[in-house]
């Protein structure tokens, strides 16, 4: 192949590449149709794995972008978005998306209706229309969740006979069988049929759990059975039921606390004390700790009285080294330690009630939101704040405040992102906004450099074919000078990329220095208090 043919081939290749670079340029707000189905699958996998934040972010994008996925996929994405928000505890937002799904009359309509009924139970809203819509669904399409949710709604509204009927309709062997049985036991307790409740809970604790929900039901049944036996003065069976709760369960502290009261009622004070000591070790941060400590002190007083009576009557065991005075001293020490630990909280609360301080600071502390102002001490003693968080009404308030805090955090992050985008757009460099354009611009620069070399080479060859004198010789010299100057400029695209990289590194160093200064300031403030 001659040199001219090689140049021609190269030019043809560059021409085709230039056309390709300009044919499929990215456009703003254009849905990524090719990758949307895969993104939906990834979001569902994240939901199944319990990564609700990642799932919600991807599903929000899919649901909010029209034309990205098909109608059936949109219904699926909307349902999973609603379910993700429901699992995150955002019932208000999830209700909106569940309602959107019910309009489609598709595959996810019935599950969405059932979730809406569950939300209405918690929020104590009227669910008449939702229940009517469920009744209109085809009987062949109904799942075990239908009688289960209907039963929960009837139970929440005090319709115990109706609830019992629905719970008994849950199919045996379904994933909701054990949960429905537990509600049958709870409904029996509400109807004062303790024997039937006893039989149901006894059956449940003998079942082998097949899932985490089943395991939870079994543990709750163990607690319920212990309470039933306690109410019926069957103390030994009550104790056995409580001690069935696994030590690794979060219900184990509750079991210890309640079994201690069983021992107290049965006048087994030593065993009650051991249960309380084990409770203090297993859950030292429990809100029951003050009550447990007071109970321990009272138990030691009772034990001292029993020892005193045994000494007087002469029935005390000679090998028993315990004395009434020792138990009284221990009781006194327990009361003194409890008073010392919680009296400052009481005094602070009394001062708080008498003062007319801004309640905002109390709200932020109870809700766990951080104040922007440095505080040496908390407005409310943490022990009191922890007690308040255990109250059902306060828990709802804390949940709302936590949601507001998350909203504020998201707004702050959005404002920061908008500021960064405005700064990028303000540079008038569109390649910084669209990375795909940056790579194409770099390639165009490489082609341009090569074309200049080709033109220079062709001009030199043409010059050798004619006389190099007169005006042509001067123009040729000027051209060579310009080519040399252009070559000395180097690769402009590479220089630009290097400049951007250096600037980024400088900003990272500055950000690191600012973070170190912030840490030093916080440490100085803490020491200065």
| pLDDT band with cut points at 50, 70 and 90 for residue 141 | confident
Q: How far apart, in whole angstroms, are the C-alpha atoms of residue 277 and residue 57?
A: 46
Looking at every residue in the chain, the average pLDDT score rounds to: 82
| pLDDT band with cut points at 50, 70 and 90 for residue 149 | very high
- Supply φ then ψ for residue 126, to 5 degrees: -75, 130
Distant-in-sequence, close-in-space partners of 307: CB < 8 Å, separation ≥ 6: 316, 320, 322, 323, 324, 327
Q: Estimate to the nearest angstrom the gap between the alpha carbon of 122 and the chain centroid.
A: 20
User: In the predicted model, what is the mean pLDDT of residues 491-499?
Assistant: 67
Between 187 and 466, the higher pLDDT residue: 187
Domains and CATH numbers, the chain: 198-284 (1.25.40), 362-426 (no CATH)
The pLDDT tens digits for 253-308 are 999 999 999 999 888 888 998 998 888 888 777 778 888 888 889 988 988 888 88
Q: How far apart, in whole angstroms, are the C-alpha atoms of residue 122 and residue 455?
A: 78
Q: Which of 58-72, 129-143, 196-210, 421-435 has the lowest mean pLDDT?
A: 421-435
Dihedral sign for Cα atoms in the order 419, 424, 427, 428: negative
| pLDDT band with cut points at 50, 70 and 90 for residue 376 | very low
Q: Is the pLDDT of residue 525 over 70?
A: no
Q: Judge whether 336 and 362 are in contact, CB under 8 Å.
A: no
Q: How far apart, in whole angstroms, are the C-alpha atoms of residue 136 and residue 138?
A: 7
Structure tokens at 454: 């080709």
Between 479 and 228, the higher pLDDT residue: 228
Q: Is the pLDDT of residue 44 over 90?
A: yes
Q: How far apart, in whole angstroms, are the C-alpha atoms of residue 372 and residue 353?
A: 24
> What does the pLDDT read at residue 377?
47
Q: Judge whether 135 and 166 are in contact, CB under 8 Å.
A: no
Answering whether pTM is above 0.75, one says no
Phi-psi region of 489 (alpha: psi -120 to 50; beta: other; left: phi over 0): alpha
Eight-state DSSP code of residue 373: S
Between 44 and 349, the higher pLDDT residue: 44
| pLDDT band with cut points at 50, 70 and 90 for residue 529 | very low
Q: Is the pLDDT of residue 221 over 50?
A: yes
Q: How far apart, in whole angstroms, are the C-alpha atoms of residue 280 and residue 30?
A: 60
Q: How many CB atoms lie within 10 A of CB 388?
A: 18
């Amino acid at each position: 192949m001659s040199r001219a043919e090689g140049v021609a081939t190269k030019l043809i290749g560059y021409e085709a590449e230039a056309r390709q670079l300009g044919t499929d340029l990215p456009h703003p707000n254009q849905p990524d149709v090719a990758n949307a189905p895969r993104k939906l699958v990834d979001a569902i996998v994240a939901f199944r794995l319990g990564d609700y934040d990642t799932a919600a972010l991807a599903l929000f994008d899919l649901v909010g972008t029209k034309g990205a996925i098909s109608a059936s996929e949109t219904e699926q994405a909307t349902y999973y978005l609603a379910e993700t928000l429901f699992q995150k505890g955002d019932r208000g937002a999830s209700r909106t998306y569940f309602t959107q799904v019910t309009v489609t009359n598709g595959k996810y309509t019935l599950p969405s209706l059932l979730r809406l009924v569950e939300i209405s139970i918690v929020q104590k809203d009227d669910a008449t229309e939702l229940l009517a819509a469920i009744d209109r669904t085809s009987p062949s399409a109904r799942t075990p969740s239908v009688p289960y949710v209907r039963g929960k709604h009837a139970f929440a509204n005090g319709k115990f006979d109706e609830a019992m009927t629905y719970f008994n309709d849950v199919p045996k062997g379904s994933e909701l069988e054990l949960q429905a049985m537990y509600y049958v036991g709870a409904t029996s307790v509400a109807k004062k049929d303790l024997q039937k409740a006893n039989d149901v809970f006894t059956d449940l604790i003998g079942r082998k759990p097949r899932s985490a929900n089943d395991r939870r039901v079994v543990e709750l049944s163990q607690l319920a059975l212990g309470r039933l036996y306690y109410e019926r003065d069957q103390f030994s069976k009550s104790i056995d039921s409580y001690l069935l709760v696994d030590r690794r369960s979060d219900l184990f502290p509750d079991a210890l606390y309640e079994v201690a009261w069983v021992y107290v009622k049965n006048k087994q004070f030593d065993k009650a004390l051991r249960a309380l000591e084990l409770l203090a070790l297993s859950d030292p941060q429990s809100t029951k700790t003050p009550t447990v400590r007071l109970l321990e002190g009272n138990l030691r007083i009772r034990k001292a009285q029993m020892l005193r009576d045994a000494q007087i009557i002469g029935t005390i065991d000679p090998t028993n080294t315990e004395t009434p005075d020792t138990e009284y001293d221990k009781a006194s020490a327990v009361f003194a330690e409890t008073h010392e630990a919680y009296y400052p909280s009481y005094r602070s609360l009394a001062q708080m009630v008498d003062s007319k301080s801004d309640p905002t600071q109390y709200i932020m502390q109870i809700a766990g939101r951080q104040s922007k102002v440095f505080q040496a001490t908390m407005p409310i003693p943490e022990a009191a704040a922890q007690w308040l968080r255990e109250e059902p009404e306060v828990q709802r308030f804390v949940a709302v405040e936590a949601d507001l805090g998350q909203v504020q955090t998201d707004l702050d992050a959005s404002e920061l992102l908008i500021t960064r985008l405005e700064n990028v757009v303000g540079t008038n460099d569109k390649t910084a906004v669209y990375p795909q354009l940056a790579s194409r611009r770099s390639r165009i620069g490489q082609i341009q450099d090569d074309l200049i070399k080709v033109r220079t080479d062709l001009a030199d060859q043409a010059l050798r074919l004619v006389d190099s004198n007169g005006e042509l010789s001067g123009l040729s010299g000027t051209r060579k000078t310009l080519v040399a100057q252009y070559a000395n400029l180097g690769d402009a695209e590479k220089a630009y990329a290097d400049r951007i990289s250096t600037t980024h590194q400088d900003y990272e160093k500055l950000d690191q220095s600012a973070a170190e200064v912030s840490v030093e300031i916080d440490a100085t403030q803490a020491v200065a208090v």
